[in-house]
Amino acid sequence: MRLARISLWLTAIAFGGFGLWLLIQPEGITGLGVELTHPVARAEIRAFYGGLELGLALFFTVAASRPSWFAAGLFAQAAALGGVALGRIIGIVVDGVSDSLFVGLLAAELTGCLIGIVALWLLDRKP
């Protein structure tokens, strides 16, 4: 149960940090080569990378605070981070992306996904 709680808190902090940062400063995404040449592009980054990530951070915070939510939170953690990691892997293979920041984010997302899976597995093993 301890791994579950720690994993969910770390995920909440990560999603919350990125969400708040990109809600306030959508231009932060340009470090990945994304060009924000139109106001609607900045608004989209604020909405999706800012707002959605803050909403997920809230969910992970509540899940970390309520043991009855651990399983759902860990599943959501693994699914969300695993899905993003899958998209990055496809980007590497199909688009030939080799940017070190992009690959570093992939490593972090894979790690978070795997920790979520392990924590969920350990949670399910408890009687």
pLDDT (0 to 100) of residue 126: 63
pLDDT (0 to 100) of residue 37: 93
Give the contacts of 101 (CB within 8 A, at least 6 positions apart). 31, 32
Q: Comparing C-alpha atoms, which of 89, 79, 87, 90 is closest to residue 114?
A: 79
pLDDT (0 to 100) of residue 1: 85
pLDDT (0 to 100) of residue 42: 95
pLDDT (0 to 100) of residue 127: 62
Helix (H) or strand (E) holding 2: helix 2-24
Segment-wise mean pLDDT, segments of 10 residues, the chain, 127 residues: 96 97 95 92 95 98 97 98 97 93 95 97 82
pLDDT (0 to 100) of residue 31: 87
